[in-house]
Amino acid sequence: MSRIDNSKFLIGILFSFILIFPLPVQAAGPETPVGGDWLVRHIGAEPATLNPVTATDVYESTINGYVYESLLERDNRTLDLVPLLASSYEVSPDKLSYLFTLREGLKWQDGKPLTSSDVVFTFNTVKNESVDAPHLRSYYRSLEKVEALDASRVRFTFSEPYFKSLEMIGGMSIIPQHIFSRGDFNTHPAGRSPVGSGPYKFVRWDTGKEIVLEKNDSYWGEKPLLNKIVFKIITDETVALQVLKRGEMDLMALTPVQWVKQTEGRKFNRAFAKYKYYLPGYSFIGWNSRRPVFNDPKVRRAMTMFMDRDAILKNLRYGFGRVVSGNFFYESPDYDRTIEPWPYDPTKAAALLEEAGWVDSDSDGIRDKDGVKFQFEFTMTSGSQFADQVSTILKEELSKVGVEMSIRPLEWALFTKMLDDRNFDAVIMGWSLPVEADPYQVWHSSQTEKGSNFIGFANREADLIIEESRVTFEKEKRVQLYRRFHRIMHEEQPYTFLFMNESLVALDRRFQNVNVYPLGLDTSEWWVPTKDQRYR
Amino acid sequence: MNLQQYLIRRLLLIIPTFLGITLITFMVIQLSPGNPAAMKLRTGEQGMMGDEMTREIVEGTKRLYGLDKPIWIRYGIWLKRVVTFDFGTSYKDHRPVMEKIAERLPITIELNLISIFLVYLLAIPVGVYSAVEQGTIRDKVMTVILFILYSLPNFWVAVLLIMFLGGGDFLDWFPIYGISSPGMEGAVFLSRLWDHLWHLMLPVFCLTYGGLAGLSRFMRAGMLEVIRQDYIRTARAKGLPEKLVIFKHAMRNSIIPIITLMGYLLPGMLGGSIIIESIFSIPGMGQLSFEAVLSRDYPVVMAIATISALLTLVGILISDLLYVWADPRITYEAEA
């Protein structure tokens, strides 16, 4: 399953995680936290670069989350944006200007002071055409001006009001001007040895082996407890699990089959605790509404009702995840939980097809309408086992009711080109969601030609809701708008919404004070009792 | 025509061949669907872009990567740089392509050299043995074993070895990822070397056992061919000991085709095994080429293609020279 990540604005260590079952959270002992020991983590591939502006992979954000800091961060419990490098901020009444004040005594890890000119430099770099960061630049389109008023105050000016502007400013990693201003930005050596302002500083990067960070003793904020964070690069998940079992790693993400079949032994559970959380995002099948077969909501709803989503979830992912009925994150207030996903009901689905006028008029075993046969191509990315199985099940189901579906796997580069050309009937893929989602990019009718609205969804009411919500700064009002939007999604079924996945994690039990927050695990509060410490 | 003339002619022929190969590769890669600039943008989707903006950003990225010029001009620029061995920088991390290749080439060459050496070392005696024992039960057992080995997919064998010999649940005999243990940097040379070789055991085994079957059958066939020749019968009739007949008269002649195969192994040295490398987390060429093709990292793909083309051309030349050296009946005149 291909994900399109927007991890830049997920401020936190891992992705947004939510607890669903009461899990064995280890209570901290009576003793007070002590420093020492390392945390050895698994990453599945090498980051391309550790330059936070040009990087596009999730590995970079996992690592740089320890090294670089942003003006604001999300509170672990409330998910609100709270001060980090900034001590305060003010928003003008017209919502076009944001004035940030930096904390006093901020320092880069090389001892130089961190000032407002670093902040200005960061945003000017992102806006600079010759910097290889198109994926970020698109967010700052309406950011007109960034100016330093003095050493600790920065003013941002926007051309239009937008409720996510604060997150855009607050979520960007601030980079040191005195390092990056020398030489070419894209090829800058700091991409291989970052210097940030965060609690951990970079030690070394052994290509293909490991990346090591150590405690920054001159950190401006609360000193971290663990001495080192080591990221082991192991590309194969089977091997990674073996390495974990050997005690050479402390923390890794598990696959559903590993959770169910390979980590159930008593020996494993003595050494490791397992955690689960929902990941903000969902998988879906998109129906190209430009095609005569899919331009009727009844047909799309029928398609959804031909899918036994509960059974698929149980069989393919051991039930880890949840069937969703709309485009928002299940755990956010935007998602209306009173809307139940359409049930699996092939009889009713077939009746819906009849209602929509798709009947087999020439008795050739395939339904047709106005001379068009109900045949379509289902496109997926090759190598995705999940897509492979879902498509096979659907094809089988549809063949019983006179709908002919063919399956076409494509490699990712071709798949994205086909999306851009709008040249498909149906696709299966997934979206990752930021904490506060804005449906504009995927659902607004202005985005059908070149944007991410590749299925060509256009609905007047939905457009109005999107436009209004973008300039609505009161969260409660936005929630009401979005719940209405969710209802439209459910009725129209532009997508068949499939599943929100669960993230599964195993962690060595020697770590204390492990809490599961909506934003995931926060490693910065962990510590290990002196008697259990493993590394010096 | 003597050796010198022949060599000069062959080396001059390499130039147009090389141009042809790179031109075709360049066109195929750049004209295949998928656009690196658009793919880069995709990674930040669900943002707040309008249509116009998207187009602008993609165009800007194309300019940055130099993809806005017509394709023949791009080829010209690329060729001009390549003549000075400058392959440009990767789209992925903007590091010089040669630096990235230099980082990964040693381990791939090492793995390939060791496994090719082992394949030859084992295949020749196995082939000779089954040729001499042709038709006996021993030969049949050997054949069956070789075919079984040949048909076991190496990624499956690799995972089994890791499960059973890599600690965790069963025997803890071998390290299962990477090419050295962490914290070995300060150790003495010998223990570092031992640690490194210990890491290579499993991947080398997985790379070797499949090739063994193919080559030993090849050797067996060549040997059977030779054993039927008159001069072998003559040698036996003269009363020479069987060992001498087999190893001196027969094997030397049947080894010729196998030796000449070696020239063709040269380009193969460059390409790592994608599957084995990703299973054992070995940062080699296989991973690099695979990722480069998937993400349409043109400079990297072109550099690897160019180097393999050159190695192939040189390999063929070496093969031809080896033929002449190994078999006096072949001359340069016959080639001309």
Name beta bridge partners: A100.
A89, A154
User: Which residue is listed with tokens 């804005």?
Assistant: A438
B59 touches chain A (CB under 8 A): no
Query: Exposure string (b/e) for B116-147, b if CB count within 10 Å is 16 or more?
Result: bebbbebbbebbbbbbbeeeeeebeebeeebe
**How many helices and strands, by DSSP H and E, does chain A display?**
16, 23
pLDDT at residue B336 greater than cutoff 50: no
A425 to A308, A408, A447, B219: CA distances (angstroms): 21, 11, 18, 54
**Alpha-carbon span A309 to A290, nearest angstrom:** 25
Task: Please name the residue that has the structure tokens 């009746």.
Answer: A351
| Distances A438 to A170, A434, B46 between C-alpha atoms, Å | 17, 9, 8
What is the nearest CA distance from A194 to chain B, expressed in angstroms? 14
pLDDT, tens digit only, all 536 positions of chain A: 333 333 333 332 223 233 333 344 444 455 789 999 999 999 988 898 999 999 888 899 899 999 999 999 999 888 889 999 999 999 999 999 999 999 999 999 999 999 999 999 999 999 998 898 877 887 888 899 999 999 999 999 999 999 999 999 999 999 999 999 988 999 899 999 999 999 999 999 988 889 999 999 999 999 999 999 999 999 888 899 999 998 999 999 999 999 999 998 899 999 999 999 888 889 999 999 999 999 999 999 999 999 999 999 999 889 999 999 999 999 889 999 999 999 999 999 999 999 999 999 988 999 999 999 999 999 998 888 889 999 999 999 999 999 999 999 998 888 888 888 899 999 998 888 888 888 988 899 988 887 789 999 999 999 999 999 999 999 999 999 999 999 999 999 999 999 998 999 999 999 999 999 887 889 999 999 999 999 98
CB contact under 8 A, A245 and B34: no
Would you say the C-alpha torsion A346, A350, A355, A356 has a positive or negative sign? positive
Report residue A85 as tokens.
């490098």
B53 contacts in A (CB within 8 Å)? 138, 141
Position B123, amino acid:
A
Higher pLDDT, A457 or B172: A457
Q: How many CB atoms lie within 10 A of CB B16?
A: 9
Strands A321-323, A368-369: pairing kind? unpaired
Residues near A263 by beta carbon (within 8 Å), at least 6 away in sequence? A241, A254, A269, A272, A274, A506
**Chain A contact for B53, CB < 8 A?**
yes
Q: How many CB pairs under 8 A join A and B?
A: 176
- Indicate the angle between helix axes A237-245 and B154-165, nearest 10 degrees: 10
Render pLDDT for A178-194 as a digit per residue (tens, 0 to 9): 999 988 999 899 999 99
Q: Give the residue from A137, A233, A268 with the most B CB atoms within 10 Å of its CB, the best one to mutate.
A: A137
Element of type H or E holding B197: helix B189-227
Mean predicted confidence (pLDDT) in B210-220: 86
**Cα of B39 to nearest chain A Cα, Å:** 7
Local structure of B200: helix, strand or coil: helix
* Rounded Cα distance, B199 and B179, in Å: 5
In angstroms, what separates the C-alpha of A137 from chain B's closest C-alpha? 8
Which residues from A are below 8 Å from B300, CB to CB?
none
Give the pLDDT mean for B303-328.
Answer: 83
In angstroms, the Cα distances linking A451 to A408, A442, A458, B82, B215 are 23, 7, 13, 38, 55
Residues of chain B in contact with residue A420, where contact means CB-CB under 8 angstroms, are 38
Cβ proximity of B155 and A235 under 8 Å: no
B116 close to B263: Cβ distance less than 8 angstroms: no
Chain A CB contacts of B272 under 8 Å are: none
Chain A interface test: which of B28, B29, B48, B63 (most A C-beta within 10 Å): B48
> Model pTM?
0.82
Reported as a single tens digit per residue, the pLDDT across B38-50 is: 776 655 443 334 4
Pull the structure tokens for residue B105: 């080439």
Angle at A201 between CA A198 and CA A206, to 5 degrees: 140
Does B61 lie at the interface with A, CB-CB under 8 angstroms? yes
Sequential DSSP letters for B123-168:
HHHHHHHHHHTTTSHHHHHHHHHHHHHHHS-HHHHHHHHHHHHBST
Q: What is the pLDDT of residue B266?
A: 74
Distance from CA of A433 to the nearest CA of B (A): 8
Residues of chain B with Cβ-Cβ distance to A141 below 8 Å are: 48-50, 53
Interface of B with A in 256-285 (CB under 8 A): 278-283
Which phi and psi angles does A361 have, rounded to 5°?
Answer: -80, -25
Å between B42 CA and nearest CA of chain A: 7
Chain B neighbors of A272, CB-CB under 8 A: none
Q: What is the pLDDT of residue B183?
A: 67
Query: What string of H, E and C letters represents the secondary structure of A93-139?
Result: CCCCEEEEEECCCCECCCCCECCHHHHHHHHHHHHCCCCCCHHHHHH
* Residue B92: DSSP 8-state: T
Residue in chain A nearest B36 by alpha carbon = A413
Output the DSSP codes for A295-328. Answer: SSHHHHHHHHHT--HHHHHHHHHTT-EEE-SSSS
Distance from the first to the final alpha carbon of chain A = 40
pLDDT of residue B53: 57
Gap between the Cα atoms of B76 and B74, Å rounded: 5
Amino acid at B100: K
Predicted local confidence at residue B41, as pLDDT: 63
State whether A209 and B178 contact (CB < 8 Å).
Answer: yes
Average pLDDT, chain B: 82
Whether B58 sits inside 8 A of A162 (CB atoms) is: no
Considering only residues A176 and B265, tell me which one the structure prediction assigns the higher pLDDT.
A176
Q: Which of B46, B57, B104 sits opposite A442 (nearest CB)?
A: B46
Place of tokens 């079924």: A493
Residue for token pair 């990225």? B61
Question: What distance in Å separates the CA atoms of residue B102 and residue A201, rounded to the nearest whole number?
Answer: 28
> Which amino acid makes up residue A39?
L
For the record, the structure tokens of A40 come out as 């050895």
| Cα Rg of chain A, angstroms | 25
Q: Is B27 helix (H, G, I), strand (E, B) or coil?
A: helix
Residue-level pLDDT at B92 = 82
Burial of B1: CB neighbours in 10 Å, binned 0-12, 13-18, 19+: exposed
How far does A56 lie from chain B, in Å, by closest CA?
6
Between CA A476 and CA A168 the distance in angstroms is: 21
What is chain B's alpha carbon radius of gyration, rounded to the nearest angstrom?
25
Dihedral sign computed on CA atoms, order A177, A182, A186, A192: negative
How far is the C-alpha of A312 from the C-alpha of B192, rounded, in Å? 50
Q: Can you tell me the distance from the alpha carbon of A361 to that of A369, in angstroms, rounded to the nearest whole number?
A: 8
Contact status, residue B44 vs residue A3, Cβ threshold 8 Å: no
CA A387 from chain centre, in angstroms, equals: 19
Does B58 contact chain A (CB < 8 Å)? yes
